[in-house]
Amino acid sequence: MSIEKFSLEKVLSVHRWTDTLFSFTMTRPAHFKFTAGQFARIGLKIGDELVVRAYSVVSSPFDETLEFFSIVVPEGKFTSNLQHLKVGDELYLEKIPYGYLTLARYQLPLPQDLWLLGTGTGLAPFLSMLQDFETWNNYKQINLVYSVRTQAELAYVERIQEIAESFGEGHSGFKFIPIITRDPEAALHDRLPVLIANGELEKAAAMQLNPETSHVMLCGNPDMVEDTKEALKARGLTMNRRGEGNIAVENYW
C-alpha cells in the first residue's frame, strides 16, 4: 500500500456507545470530496505495517469534518487497535472515496419512496444521505429502518431525530423504524426478511413496498443483505442495474 495515496488526519472526537461500538470524527482535507453513501479507506500504522479498512462516512458531504461509526471486531487486527483511539491521534485517510451505494445510481423508477434498511454500523451511509437536502427534496416518503440486537446497540437515535427536524423541516414523510431483534418486548423484534414477508414492516411504515415506486437500500450484515434481498425479490422488486431497478446493496464485512 503506497503511503502517497493517503493524507495524515487528526482525531477530533471519540464517542463510545457501548463496549464494542464507537464513533469518531477527524479532520477533513480539502481534497477529500465524496457523495453521501460512499466509504473512505482509513489506515492505521500497526508496527511497520499500514493496515487499511473501509468505513462509510456518517457525516454530510458538506461537513467540515469526517465522522465514522465502528464496531470492535473481537481479535480483529484493525479495530482492536482502533478502539483505543483518542483525541489528537493521527489516522491515514486515502485521498479518494469509494462505493456505489449512492442515490444518484437510481434512474428508474423515478424517486418517490426511499427505504433505507441497515443493521449495526451499516446505518452509517444512511446518516450521510439524510444530511443532504437533496434526499429530502427528491423523496416524498423516507423510511429509515435500523435493526440491532439489543436496545444498548441502538446508537444515534437522538441524532436521527435532530437530523429529521433540521434537514426534514416541513417534510411530512419521514419514519424511523427501529428493530431490536433480541428483545421480545420491542415493538418490532423479528429479522427484516420476516418483517417483509409478514407485512409488519409495511404496517410500521404505513405504506407498501412497490416495484413501481420504491428505492430500497440495504447495508450491514452480509447474511441480512442476502436474505433481505431474496425477501424483496419475492415481492417483485428487482436489483438495480445500470440505473434501473429497486434494490441497491452494500455488504459490511
CB 220 within 8 A of CB 226: no
Label residue 220 exposed, middle or buried (CB < 10 Å: 0-12, 13-18, 19+): buried
Long-range CB contact pairs, 84-89, < 8 A, 24+? 85/11, 85/14, 85/22, 85/24, 86/11, 86/14, 87/11, 87/12, 87/13, 87/14, 88/10, 88/11, 89/10, 89/11
Q: Could you tell me the smallest distance in angstroms from the CB atom of residue 29 to ligand NAP?
A: 25
CB of 165 to ligand NAP, least distance (A): 26
- DSSP per position, 107-118: -BSPSSEEEEEE
Residue from 10, 15, 16, 182 that binds ligand NAP (CB under 6 A)? 182
Among the residue ranges 88-96, 109-117, 132-140, 144-152, the one whose residues contact ligand NAP (CB under 6 A) = 144-152
Is 227 in a helix, a strand, or coil? helix
Nearer to ligand NAP by Cβ, of 106 and 120: the residue is 120
Report if residue 120 touches ligand NAP, rule: CB under 6 A.
Answer: yes
User: Of 142 and 148, which has the nearer Cβ to ligand NAP?
Assistant: 148
Compare residues 72 and 129 and give the one whose CB is closer to ligand NAP. Answer: 72
The DSSP string of 43-58 is EEEETTEEEEEEEE--
- Region binding ligand NAP by CB under 6 A among candidate stretches 119-127, 133-141, 156-164, 236-244: 119-127
Sheet containing 39-46: which strands, arranged edge to edge?
49-56, 39-46, 90-94, 6-16, 21-27, 65-71
Residue placing its CB nearer to ligand NAP in the complex, 17 or 167? 17
Nearer to ligand NAP, 36 or 180 (CB): 180
Compare residues 48 and 75 and give the one whose CB is closer to ligand NAP: 75
Interface positions, 219-248, toward ligand NAP (CB under 6 A): 221, 223-224, 227
Q: Which of residues 86-105 bind ligand NAP (CB under 6 A)?
A: none
CB 32 within 8 A of CB 95: yes
- Whole-Å CA distances, 81 to 24, 77, 84, 190: 14, 7, 6, 33
192 binds ligand NAP, rule: CB under 6 A: yes
Q: Which listed residue (65, 162, 230, 253) binds ligand NAP by CB under 6 A? A: 253
Which of 28, 41, 191, 215 binds ligand NAP (CB under 6 A)? It is 191
**Binding footprint of ligand NAP on the chain (CB under 6 A):** 71, 73-74, 119-121, 147-149, 181-182, 191-193, 221, 223-224, 227, 252-253
